[in-house]
Amino acid sequence: MLEVNDANFQAEVLNSQLPVLVDFWASWCGPCRMLAPIVEHIAKNYEGKLKVVKLNVDEAGETAAKYGITAIPTLIFFKDGKVAEQKTGFMAEDVLSKLAETHI
């Protein structure tokens, strides 16, 4: 799965032709680690329909601040370069799949 940062966020997320799911996370965050395999599964299930990327808030603080990330994990769906939906906290795979379906 692609890791995005402050330098490539514009190109990889905002300029993407596909809708994008960004997983804002950090290595020290337990719920983030629990969510990671679910996000990876979503990436595989929706390959070609939804671009899924991860952004480490400790390494891309500028972008995290721009989108008001104050708690993690936070998932943001982007469509046409704009925030379409934002959710914070752990969620089950079926819930995340239903969310993804609404954005593709």
Positions marked active-site: 29, 32
The angle, 0 to 180 degrees and rounded to 10, between the axes of the packed helices 30-45 and 93-103 is: 50
The closest alpha carbon to 104, from 18, 11, 39, 10, belongs to 18
Q: Are 55 and 64 in contact (CB under 8 A)?
A: yes
